[in-house]
């Protein structure tokens, strides 16, 4: 109970500080859609290796949202699932190897820094260790109990399937475990349990299997081809495995030196733990060779420890720690089995006494390491709660923002909310607000790419790192709403406006409903100079679609420089909007003197067909101011 309580503290203390970034936002957006019964995700977002993840994580994330519609409920639920895996690990290890083994294995798993790192994160990788532990524990019981309960095989198969589905890096090991379950079924004649486990596993995997079939298994072919292109050994798989089991490099993962300066250092701890694992490995091999006792459990544990990293040995993927999270909990169970055996050693008195003394000393060292691991996370949790670890988009702040936006819509049903945020790639941490509010009246715009001015009433939320300068085009229209401010440091402020007036007469009009109201060009028109270009557009949704803008710098009709882009992506455009789009045009080093013209227009994307103006031309030209 004490170990479970410690694990709960390390996973759930200050869980509302969980970080919401673009990946988390994508999961939450889908989860809120599921919780509103509007969406069933067959697939998730694209992984770092270019294939689509499964939809299992958004579906799991949706479960707590049926009860509590807050992002931090998802974090609590994911951490609770890992705690259930911890409790099951204790029960299974005690049954298979003894109580001391269970204490050691669960204490190390409860405090393992890498396990806690992912358990405290809403991510596709979050639940890999929890489901791997569930499957490991169930198979351990199957291999060591003469008459395991029928549900244990079902739990093993479902755990292996969920492990494979929450992150595809675990899928090859999940397939190995399902194959082992087939062998156990055949030897134990557990056909009924196997049938139930297979049915549940197929239900879990079916949406993604349908996706693969519809795509002609192109993603599988891509992965197999990528794996075959590299014939060398990817030795990083063993280095990362050692770091995961020993807790090494966990401090560096904080992305800052404050945590490093706040903890009690113990540089020798990872090496000590790896040395003990090495001793336990030698003992396990000797035990398997000379004794039938615990042979199945130890052999299974050794295969798990060496098999997981071996899966990536010939892979050319740039490995990260989360690719190997299914390594857990095998190294800790091995250490527990060794400590258990040393306590009951049967040998000549002197040798048995020495062996017991070594085991007790090792147990003390493991307890000290676990205590040090726990101290690391207690320090980090305290720093997170104080907002000192560069975590601006924390869960409780995001939930406060979501609730504030929802209240605004309740008071102003015709209103809109424009979030000006800093983006990572094409996403921001605020994307999930649309799923939460169930309306496209929330638009999240990259503050450095442009600004949207709706025709009707609207409020602007300035996200972290976005200054009031981003609202300079509407500074005369907006008024701050202090009661809506989010208490971050510094606060995220809301600025609201009433309905806008009529648009001025345009400079040019295009057939898709876009009208150019003005062009503002500033900067230095000289060699190696830069021009800042701001377009002001009025949009009528006559021909909605995907468009890119072009800016061509011309000298006597010859193209000298250009900058293209989507400005504000088309899915943010609404009928009646005024759009500001920002571009920076880099000028060449050999820029000749002359009278330059900037030609502006747009084309469809991705087929790149220019959109004609109402006059029949495909672009509007204006002189570039001279220095």
Q: What share of the chain is helix, strand, coil (3-state, %, to 5)?
A: 50, 15, 30
pLDDT computed for residue 333 by the predictor? 96
Is residue 219 scored above 80 in pLDDT? no
- pLDDT, one tens digit per residue, over 549-579 is 999 999 888 899 999 988 888 888 899 999 9
Which burial class, exposed, middle or buried, applies to 413 when counting CB atoms under 10 A from its CB (0-12, 13-18, 19+)?
Answer: exposed
The mean pLDDT value for 306-327 works out to 88
Model confidence at 76: pLDDT above 60: yes
Q: Average pLDDT in the 417-425 region?
A: 87
Residue 186 half-sphere exposure, CB side, CA atoms within 13 Å?
6
pLDDT at 149: 85
Burial 574-604 (b: 16+ CB within 10 A, else e): bebbbbbbbbebebeeebeeeebbbbbbbbe
Q: How confident is the model at residue 230 (pLDDT cuts 50, 70, 90)?
A: low
Pick among 3.30.450.20, 2.60.40.10, 1.10.10.60, 2.170.150.70: CATH of 508-623? 2.60.40.10
How far, in Å, CA of 305 to CA of 319, rounded? 17
Among 180-189, 450-459, 565-574, which stretch is predicted with the lowest mean pLDDT? 565-574
Give the residue from 481, 323, 509 showing the smallest Cα distance to 412.
Answer: 481
Decide the pairing of beta strands 494-497 and 514-523.
Answer: unpaired
d(CA 595, CA 582): 23
Mean pLDDT comparison of 128-142, 235-249, 421-435, 585-599, highest-scoring range: 128-142
What is the arithmetic mean of pLDDT over 355-365?
85
Cα 40 to the center of its chain, rounded Å: 19
List, for residues 234-260, the tens digit of each pLDDT value: 888 999 999 999 998 887 765 567 877
Q: Domain coordinates of the chain in residue numbers?
A: 2-385, 401-497, 508-623
- Edge-to-edge strand list for the sheet holding 514-523: 450-453, 578-586, 530-539, 514-523, 508-509
pLDDT per residue as tens digits for the range 253-282: 655 678 778 888 898 999 999 999 999 999
Task: Give the mean pLDDT of the chain.
Answer: 89
454, HSE (Cβ side, Cα atoms, 13 Å): 22
pLDDT digits (tens, 9 = 90+) for 35-49: 988 888 888 887 766
């Amino acid at each position: 109970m004490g170990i479970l309580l410690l694990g709960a503290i390390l996973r759930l203390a200050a869980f509302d500080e969980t970080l919401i970034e673009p990946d988390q936002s994508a999961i939450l957006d889908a989860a809120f859609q599921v919780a509103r019964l509007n969406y069933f995700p067959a697939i998730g977002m694209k992984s770092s290796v270019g294939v689509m993840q499964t939809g299992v994580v958004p579906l799991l994330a949706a479960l707590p949202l049926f009860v509590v519609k807050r992002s931090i409920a998802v974090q609590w639920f994911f951490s609770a699932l890992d705690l259930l895996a911890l409790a099951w690990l204790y029960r299974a290890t005690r049954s298979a190897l003894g109580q001391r083994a269970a204490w050691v294995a669960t204490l190390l798993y409860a405090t393992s820094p890498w396990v806690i790192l992912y358990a405290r994160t809403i991510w596709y990788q979050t639940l890999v260790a929890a489901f791997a532990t569930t499957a490991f524990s169930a198979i351990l019981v199957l291999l060591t109990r003469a008459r395991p309960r029928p549900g244990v095989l079902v739990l093993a198969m479902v755990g292996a399937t969920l492990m494979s589905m929450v992150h595809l890096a675990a899928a090859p090991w999940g397939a190995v475990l399902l194959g082992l379950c087939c062998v156990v079924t055949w030897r134990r004649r557990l056909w009924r349990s196997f049938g139930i486990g297979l049915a549940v596993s197929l239900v879990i995997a079916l949406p993604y299997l349908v996706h693969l079939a519809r795509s002609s298994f192109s993603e599988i072919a891509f992965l197999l081809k990528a794996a075959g292109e590299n014939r060398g050994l990817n030795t990083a798989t063993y280095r990362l495995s050692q770091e995961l089991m020993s807790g090494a490099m966990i401090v560096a993962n904080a992305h800052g030196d404050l945590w490093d300066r706040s903890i009690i250092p113990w540089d020798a701890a990872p090496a000590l733990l790896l040395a003990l694992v090495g001793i336990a490995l030698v003992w396990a091999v000797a035990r398997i060779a000379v004794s039938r006792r615990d042979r199945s459990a130890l052999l299974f544990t050794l295969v798990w420890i060496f098999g997981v990293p071996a899966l990536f040995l010939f892979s050319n993927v740039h490995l990260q720690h989360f690719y190997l999270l299914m390594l857990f909990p095998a190294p800790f169970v091995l250490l527990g089995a060794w400590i258990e055996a040393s306590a009951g050693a049967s040998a000549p008195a002197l040798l048995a006494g020495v062996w017991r003394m070594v085991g007790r000393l090792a147990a003390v060292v493991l307890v000290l390491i676990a205590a040090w691991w726990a101290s690391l996370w207690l320090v980090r949790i305290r720093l997170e709660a104080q907002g000192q670890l560069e975590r601006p988009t924390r869960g409780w702040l995001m939930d406060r923002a979501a609730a504030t936006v929802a209240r605004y819509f309740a008071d102003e049903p015709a209103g809109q909310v424009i979030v000006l945020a800093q983006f990572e790639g094409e996403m921001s941490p605020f994307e999930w607000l649309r799923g939460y509010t169930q309306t496209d009246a929330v638009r999240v715009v990259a503050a450095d790419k442009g600004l949207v001015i709706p025709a009707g009433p609207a409020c602007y939320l300035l996200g972290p790192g976005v200054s009031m300068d981003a609202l300079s085009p509407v500074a005369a229209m907006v008024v701050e709403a202090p009661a809506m401010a989010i208490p971050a440091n510094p606060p995220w402020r809301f600025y609201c406006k009433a309905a806008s007036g009529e648009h001025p007469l345009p400079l040019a009009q295009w057939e898709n409903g876009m009208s150019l109201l003005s062009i503002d060009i500033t900067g230095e028109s000289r060699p190696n100079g830069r021009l800042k270009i701001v377009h002001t557009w009025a949009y009528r949704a006559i021909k909605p679609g995907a468009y890119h803008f072009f800016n061509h710098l011309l000298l006597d009709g010859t193209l000298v420089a250009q900058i293209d882009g989507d400005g504000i992506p088309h899915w943010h455009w609404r009928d009646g909007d005024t759009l500001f789009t920002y571009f920076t045009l880099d000028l060449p080093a050999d820029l000749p003197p002359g009278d330059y013209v900037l030609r502006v227009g747009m084309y469809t994307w991705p087929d790149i067909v220019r959109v004609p103006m109402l006059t029949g031309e495909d672009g509007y030209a204006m002189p570039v101011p001279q220095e």
